Structure 1
Amino acid sequence: MDERLPIAKLNKDMISNYDHIQNLKEKLDDHILSLRNENGYWDGKLSSSALSTSVAVFALWKYDKKKYDTHINKGLFWLAHNANLDGGWGDTIRSKSNLSTTLLTWACFSIAKDRPEFTECIQNAENWLTDRLKKLDPESISTAILNHYQSDQTFSVPILSMCALSGRLGDDGWKLVPQLPFQMAVFPDQLFKFLNLSVVSYAIPALIAIGLVKAHHCKPNQLTKKLNQSVKPKVLQILSEKQPGNGGFLEAAPLTGFVLMSLIGAGERDLEVCQKAANFLEHSIREDGSWPIDTHLATWVTSLSVNALDGSILSEIRDRDKLVSYYLDFQLKNIHPFTKAKPGGWAWTHLQGGVPDADDTSGALIALHKLNEYQNIPIEAIKNGVNWLCELQNNDGGLPTFCKGWGKLPFDCSCPDITAHAIKSLSLWRDKLDAQTRGKADKSIQKAWRYLQNSQLDNGSWLPLWFGNEDDLQHENPVYGTSIVLYSLSDLNPDVLKGLREVKNKAIAFLQSAQNGDGGWGGNANLISTIEETSLAIRALASIQNQEEINNGLKWLQLHLPNDLNDIKATPIGLYFASLWYFEDMYPLVFASSALYEVHKSITNYEFSTASESH
Structure 2
Amino acid sequence: MLEDLQQAIWNTGAHLESLRHENGHWEGHLSSSALSTATAVVALHLVDGLKHADFVQRGQNWLREHQNADGGWGDTTISKSNLSTTLLCWSALHLSGAPPPPSASSWITQRVGSLEPRAIAAAVIARYGKDKTFSVPILMLCALCGTLGEKPWRHVLALPFELAALPRSWFGAVGLPVVSYALPALIAIGHLRFQKCPPAWWNPLRWIRALAWKRVRPMLKTLQPSSGGYLEATPLTSFVTMALAGAGDAHHPCVPLAVGFLMQSMREDGAWPIDTNLATWGTTLSIRAGAEHDARALDWLLAQQYREVHPFTNAAPGGWAWTDLPGGVPDADDTSSALVALKKLGHPCDERIHAGVKWLLDLQNRDGGIPTFCRGWGALPFDRSTPEITAHALLAWWTWMDELPAALRQRVVKATERALLHLEHVQRADGSWIPLWFGNEHTPDENNPVYGTAQVVNHLCGHEQLATQAHRLVESGRDHLLGAQKSDGSFGGDADAPSSIEETAVALHALALSRSADTPVRRASQWLLATTKNGTHFPTSPIGLYFARLWYHEQLYPVIWTLQALRAAITAHA
The bucket for the TM-score relative to the shorter chain is: over 0.9
Residue deviations 1:438-459, cap 9 Å, x none?
2222222221111111111111
Moved more, 289-298 or 215-224: 215-224
Separation in 1, partners of 2:429, 2:466: 23
Residue 57 of structure 1 corresponds to which residue in structure 2? 41
Quick check: 1:323 aligned with 2:297?
Answer: yes
Quick check: 1:172 aligned with 2:151?
Answer: yes
Report if the CA contact (8 A) 2:321-2:329 is conserved.
yes
Instruction: Output aligned runs, 1:34-113, within 5 Å.
Output: 34-113=18-97
Q: Helix, strand or coil: the match of 1:581?
A: strand
Moved more, 501-510 or 52-61: 501-510
Aligned partner (choices 245, 269, 292) of residue 288 of structure 1:
269
Alpha carbons of structure 1 residues 322 and 493: separation in structure 2 relative to 1, 3 Å:
closer
Residue deviations 1:220-278, cap 9 Å, x none?
23343322221112111122111111110000000000000001111211111111111
Q: Which amino acid aligns with 1:405?
A: G
Residue 221 of structure 2 corresponds to which residue in structure 1? 240
Alpha carbons of structure 1 residues 377 and 321: separation in structure 2 relative to 1, 3 Å:
farther
Quick check: 1:558 aligned with 2:539?
Answer: no
Residue 418 of structure 2 corresponds to which residue in structure 1? 447
| Total equivalences in the alignment | 571
Residue 347 of structure 1 corresponds to which residue in structure 2? 321
Shift of 1:502: 2.3
Quick check: 1:402 aligned with 2:373?
Answer: yes
Q: Helix, strand or coil: the match of 1:272?
A: coil
Instruction: Output aligned runs, 1:206-217, within 5 Å.
Output: 206-217=185-196
Report if the CA contact (8 A) 1:331-1:346 is conserved.
yes
Q: Helix, strand or coil: the match of 1:112?
A: coil
Shift of 1:533: 0.5
Quick check: 1:192 aligned with 2:163?
Answer: no
Q: Which amino acid aligns with 2:103?
A: N
Report if the CA contact (8 A) 1:49-1:292 is conserved.
yes
Separation in 2, partners of 1:37, 1:157: 38
Shift of 1:71: 1.0
Aligned partner (choices 595, 598, 603) of residue 573 of structure 2:
603
Report if the CA contact (8 A) 2:7-2:534 is conserved.
no
Report if the CA contact (8 A) 1:253-1:292 is conserved.
yes
Quick check: 1:435 aligned with 2:406?
Answer: yes
Q: Which amino acid aligns with 1:463?
A: I
Separation in 1, partners of 2:391, 2:187: 34
Shift of 1:578: 0.7
Report if the CA contact (8 A) 2:395-2:466 is conserved.
no
Shift of 1:142: 0.5
Q: Which amino acid aligns with 1:528?
A: P
Separation in 2, partners of 1:26, 1:344: 35
Separation in 2, partners of 1:417, 1:291: 29
Residue deviations 1:146-195, cap 9 Å, x none?
11111111100000000111111112010011100000000111100111
Q: Which amino acid aligns with 2:548?
A: A
Instruction: Output aligned runs, 1:253-292, within 5 Å.
Output: 253-292=234-273
Alpha carbons of structure 1 residues 236 and 154: separation in structure 2 relative to 1, 3 Å:
same
Report if the CA contact (8 A) 2:8-2:535 is conserved.
no
Separation in 1, partners of 2:468, 2:514: 16
Shift of 1:111: 1.1
Q: Which amino acid aligns with 1:366?
A: V
Alpha carbons of structure 1 residues 563 and 65: separation in structure 2 relative to 1, 3 Å:
farther
Q: Helix, strand or coil: the match of 1:105?
A: helix
Separation in 2, partners of 1:577, 1:508: 29
Shift of 1:564: 7.7
Instruction: Output aligned runs, 1:371-520, within 5 Å.
Output: 371-372=345-346, 376-377=347-348, 379-493=350-464, 498=469, 500-520=470-490
Separation in 1, partners of 2:299, 2:332: 20
The structure with the larger Rg is 1
Report if the CA contact (8 A) 1:133-1:141 is conserved.
yes
Separation in 1, partners of 2:20, 2:274: 22
TM-score (norm. length: structure 1): 0.91
Separation in 2, partners of 1:60, 1:595: 44
Residue deviations 1:269-295, cap 9 Å, x none?
111111111111011001110000000
Report if the CA contact (8 A) 2:363-2:374 is conserved.
yes
Quick check: 1:228 aligned with 2:203?
Answer: no
Report if the CA contact (8 A) 1:113-1:122 is conserved.
no
Instruction: Output aligned runs, 1:124-203, within 5 Å.
Output: 124-203=103-182
Separation in 2, partners of 1:224, 1:386: 43
Separation in 1, partners of 2:499, 2:515: 22
Q: Which amino acid aligns with 1:603?
A: H
Moved more, 413-422 or 483-492: 483-492
Separation in 1, partners of 2:66, 2:348: 46
Quick check: 1:585 aligned with 2:555?
Answer: yes
Uncovered stretches (5+) of structure 1, i.e. residues with no partner: 1-16, 315-319, 605-615
Residue deviations 1:496-522, cap 9 Å, x none?
865x33222211111011001121000
Separation in 2, partners of 1:284, 1:103: 22
Report if the CA contact (8 A) 1:335-1:342 is conserved.
yes
Moved more, 430-439 or 82-91: 430-439
Report if the CA contact (8 A) 2:35-2:88 is conserved.
yes
Residue 311 of structure 2 corresponds to which residue in structure 1? 337
Q: Helix, strand or coil: the match of 1:183?
A: helix
Separation in 2, partners of 1:563, 1:74: 39
Report if the CA contact (8 A) 1:494-1:501 is conserved.
no
Q: Helix, strand or coil: the match of 2:218?
A: helix
Separation in 2, partners of 1:549, 1:127: 46
Uncovered stretches (5+) of structure 2, i.e. residues with no partner: none
Alpha carbons of structure 1 residues 55 and 23: separation in structure 2 relative to 1, 3 Å:
same
Residue deviations 1:430-488, cap 9 Å, x none?
11111112222222222111111111111111110000011001001010011001111
Alpha-carbon RMSD across the aligned residues, in angstroms, is: 1.4
Residue 3 of structure 1 corresponds to which residue in structure 2? none
Separation in 2, partners of 1:485, 1:208: 36
Q: Which amino acid aligns with 1:174?
A: W
TM-score (norm. length: structure 2): 0.97
Shift of 1:144: 0.6
Report if the CA contact (8 A) 2:282-2:556 is conserved.
yes
Q: Helix, strand or coil: the match of 1:244?
A: coil
Residue 19 of structure 1 corresponds to which residue in structure 2? 3
Separation in 2, partners of 1:470, 1:230: 44
Separation in 2, partners of 1:185, 1:78: 37
Moved more, 505-514 or 556-565: 556-565
Q: Which amino acid aligns with 1:141?
A: I
Q: Helix, strand or coil: the match of 2:379?
A: coil
Shift of 1:495: 8.7
Residue deviations 1:519-574, cap 9 Å, x none?
10001012111100101111001012212211111111111003683x52100000
Separation in 2, partners of 1:148, 1:496: 38
Separation in 2, partners of 1:551, 1:568: 20
Shift of 1:132: 1.1
Residue deviations 1:346-383, cap 9 Å, x none?
000010100000000001001111001xxx44611111
Report if the CA contact (8 A) 2:20-2:26 is conserved.
yes
Q: Which amino acid aligns with 1:104?
A: L
Moved more, 122-131 or 55-64: 122-131
